[in-house]
């Protein structure tokens, strides 16, 4: 895979062979004009999410290019404009690691090549982690997505620990 990060901050990730041009994906930071379409994706992962809550969370993340400590990566099939996947991330500092890129939500609706889209998204996540000086990437998956789990293992991730949550 080829990864280009131009000055605009958009990350273009596409397969290198011409035969795969129709299945190429583009990974980019969330843009203001994508707020509505990415909200629809996020509702797949969080049906209770309101549009107002999404705007409060996402609008500040579309401010501009540069090195940011949190954001949303969006995946779309080139040359189409509609997203087929997204991931919310934030840089986190822990006692035993200087920087961890936390990926809290990954959404995929590309049913034809979900594994390829998720692998492309993980390449974008890794690129962001490197740019932010993170020592590791931690992905939280709460919906039991087997395709995501397989792609994470293929990318070198290991299952660590258990997460407990208690609503207040």
Is residue 61, in this structure, part of any structural domain at all?
yes
DSSP state of 129: H
Structure confidence at residue 23 as a pLDDT band (50, 70, 90): low
Q: Is residue 6 part of a domain?
A: yes
Is 159 part of a structural domain of the chain?
no
Q: Which pLDDT does position 65 carry in this prediction?
A: 64
User: Which backbone phi and psi does 154 adopt, to 5 degrees?
Assistant: -60, -30
Within 10 angstroms of residue 130's Cβ, the number of other Cβ atoms is 12
CB 109 within 8 Å of CB 41: yes
Report whether pLDDT(135) > 60: yes
Average pLDDT, the chain: 80
The per-residue pLDDT for 18 is 34
How much of the chain exceeds pLDDT 70, in percent?
A: 81
| Structural domain contains residue 94 | yes
Assign 7 a pLDDT band (cuts: 50, 70, 90): very low
Residue 167 lies in a domain: no
Q: Domain total for the chain?
A: 1
Task: Assess whether pLDDT exceeds 80 at residue 11.
Answer: no
- Tell me if residue 4 falls in helix, strand or coil: strand
**CATH number of the domain where residue 13 is located:** 3.40.630.30
Each residue of 53-84: pLDDT tens digit? 999 999 998 866 666 789 999 999 888 888 99
Q: What is the pLDDT of residues 47-56, one digit of tens each?
A: 999 999 999 9
99, 134 Cβ separation under 8 angstroms: yes
pTM: 0.79
- Supply the pLDDT for residue 153: 87
161 assigned to some structural domain: no
Domain range for 106 is 2-154
Rounded mean pLDDT of 94-117? 84
Give 77's contacts (C-beta < 8 A, 6+ positions apart): 23, 24, 25, 26, 84, 110
| pLDDT > 80? residue 116 | yes
User: 31 in a domain, yes or no?
Assistant: yes
Q: Is 29 exposed, middle or buried (0-12, 13-18, 19+ CB in 10 A)?
A: buried
Q: Tell whether 142 is covered by a domain.
A: yes
């Amino acid at each position: 895979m080829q990864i280009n990060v131009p000055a605009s901050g958009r990350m273009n990730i596409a397969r290198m062979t011409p035969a795969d041009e129709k299945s190429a994906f583009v990974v980019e930071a969330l843009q203001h004009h994508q707020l509505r379409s990415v909200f629809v994706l996020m509702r797949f992962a969080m049906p209770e999410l309101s549009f107002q809550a999404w705007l409060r969370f996402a609008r500040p993340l579309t401010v501009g290019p540069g090195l940011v400590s949190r954001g949303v990566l969006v995946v779309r099939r080139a040359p189409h404009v509609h997203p087929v996947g997204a991931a919310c991330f934030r840089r986190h500092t822990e006692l035993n690691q200087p920087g961890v890129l936390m990926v809290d939500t990954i959404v995929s609706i590309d049913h034809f090549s979900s594994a390829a889209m998720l692998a492309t998204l993980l390449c974008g996540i890794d690129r962001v982690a490197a740019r932010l000086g993170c020592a590791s990437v931690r992905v939280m998956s709460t919906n039991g997505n087997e395709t995501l789990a397989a792609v994470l293992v293929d990318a070198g991730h290991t299952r660590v620990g258990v997460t407990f949550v208690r609503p207040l």
